[in-house]
Chain A
Amino acid sequence: MLSSFFFLAETTGDVADAGKAIALALGIGLGALGAGVGIGNIFGSMIQAVARQPELRGELQGIQWLGFALTEAVVFYGLIGGLLAYVLV
C-alpha cells in the first residue's frame, strides 16, 4: 500500500546484478563525459591553430591525433574497469 503510494517498485531478480549494471553504465557514461570535453578541446584548439597558421597543419596533425587517441583511451579504461567489476566481483 505504502510502497505503491511512493512508486516504490517491488524488487524482483538479483539486486546485486542490477547494481553492477548501473555501475557499469555510470562508469562508462562519466568516462565518456570527460573524454568528450577533452576531445572537443583538442579539435577546437586544432581548428584555431590551423586558422592562425595554416602552414603548420602537417606538423600539428600528428600531435592532434596523438592527443585524440590518448584522450579517447580514457573512456575505454572506464569500460574495461567496469567490465572487470561486472564479471569478477
Chain B
Amino acid sequence: MKRLLAIGTTLFLALPAVALASGGEGEKFNPASEWTLKPWVDIQIGPIDMSINKAVAYLLLGTVVSCVIGIVLMRVKVGSEPTRRQALGETIYEVAQVQIAEQGLPTKAIRRWFPYVASLMVFIWVVNMIGFIPLPLSDEKWKIFGVEVPTLAIFAATSTLSVTLALAFMTWMFTHIEGIRANGVMKYLQSWIPDVPKALYPLIIPLEILGQFMRLISLSVRLYANMLAGHMLILTFIGLIFLVTPWIFPFSVLLASVFYLFEVVIVVSIQAYIFAALSAIYIGSAIEPEH
C-alpha cells in the first residue's frame, strides 16, 4: 500500500508536464507530443544536426549517473569485508560476468569484451531508469515564485530510435570487426552460410545477408519500442483526465501505476539485460562460428 502510494505520488509529480503539454489554448492533448525534440542549444556541424535537446540532456545525465554508480559501488573503499554498497556492486558485476559475458562470449574474448557488455548493461539500465523518474527536463515551463522552471516530466532517451540505433550500430560494427579480426575476411564471410546443399545457395545467401541487417533493426527496435510503448501507455492513461473527464483520475492513475510498476520492475532491467546479452552473443558467435 505504501509503495502504491509512493508510485501514485511519483506519477502525480509527472502530471503537470502533461497538463501543460495540452496547452490550455484549446490544443488537444496528444501523448505523442512528448517525443517532439526541440533543440535547446543549437549546434549545427555542416549538414549534421548536433543540437542539444531533451534526449541528449537525458543521455548526458545517464552517462554521469552510470559513471558515478560504477565508481561509488565498485571503486570506493572496497575491502574484504563487504558493506551493503559493495555487495550491491558485486551483484551487478556478477550478473554482467556470469549471466551475460560467460553465456555469450568465448573464454578467450571475455577479457576484451566484458567491459563493453557490462557498461552497455549499466548504461542502458540507468538511462531506462531515469526515464521513469519525473525530472525537470522538458520543453514546457511553469512559474514558481516568479521563476520559470521546466515542468517535471518522464521521458527516456532510449525511447527515441536514434539512441538505440546508435547503440545497436556499435554492437553490429564490433561484431563484424571482431569476426574479421579473429577469422580473416573470407573465413568469416563463409561462416555466415549454413550447412546446406549447394543448390540452395542462391536462396540462402541473400537471406543470410539480409539477416545480418535484420539484427541491427531487431536489436534497436526492441529496446526503442519497449520504452516508447511503456511511456506512451502511462502518459495516455494519465492523459485520460484531459480527454474524458477529471473524475476519471483515480482509475486512470491506478492503471498508470500498474503499468509504471510493471515497467520499472520488469521491463527496464530485462531490456538492459537483453541488449547486453544479445550483444555478447552476437560478438561471441562472430569470433567463434559454430562450424
Contact = CB atoms under 8 A, between A and B. Distances in A.
Interface stretch (A19-27, A41-49, A68-76): A68-76
B49 to A, nearest CB: 20
A72 B230 CA distance: 13
Contacts of A70: 222, 274
A25 to B, nearest CB: 14
B198 to A, nearest CB: 32
A72 B270 CA distance: 11
Given A66-B277, A79-B229, A73 B270 contact: no
Contacts of A68: 270
A81 to B, nearest CB: 10
Contacts of A65: 270, 273-274
A73 B226 contact: yes
B218 interface: yes
B103 interface: yes
B83 interface: no
B225 A69 contact: no
B225 A77 contact: yes
A62 interface: yes
B274 A76 contact: no
Main secondary structure on A side of the interface with B? helix
B225 A76 contact: yes
Contacts of B225: 73, 76-77, 79-80
- Assign chain B's interface to a size class: 10 to 19
A70 B274 CA distance: 8
Interface residues of A, number: 12
Contacts of B273: 65, 69
Nearest to A73: B222
B271 interface: yes
Contacts of B224: 80
Contacts of A80: 221, 224-225, 228
A85 B270 CA distance: 28
A59 to B, nearest CB: 10
Interface in B203-238: 218, 221-222, 224-226, 228-229
Given A76-B222, A80-B221, A69 B270 contact: yes
A70 B218 CA distance: 9
A80 B225 CA distance: 7
B24 to A, nearest CB: 26
B205 to A, nearest CB: 25
B274 A69 contact: yes
A79 B222 CA distance: 11
A18 to B, nearest CB: 18
A76 B277 contact: no
B91 interface: no
A11 B274 CA distance: 47
6 contacts: A69-B222, A73-B226, A76-B221, A76-B225, A77-B221, A80-B221
Given A69-B222, A73-B226, 6 more contacts: A65-B273, A69-B270, A69-B273, A69-B274, A76-B226, A80-B221
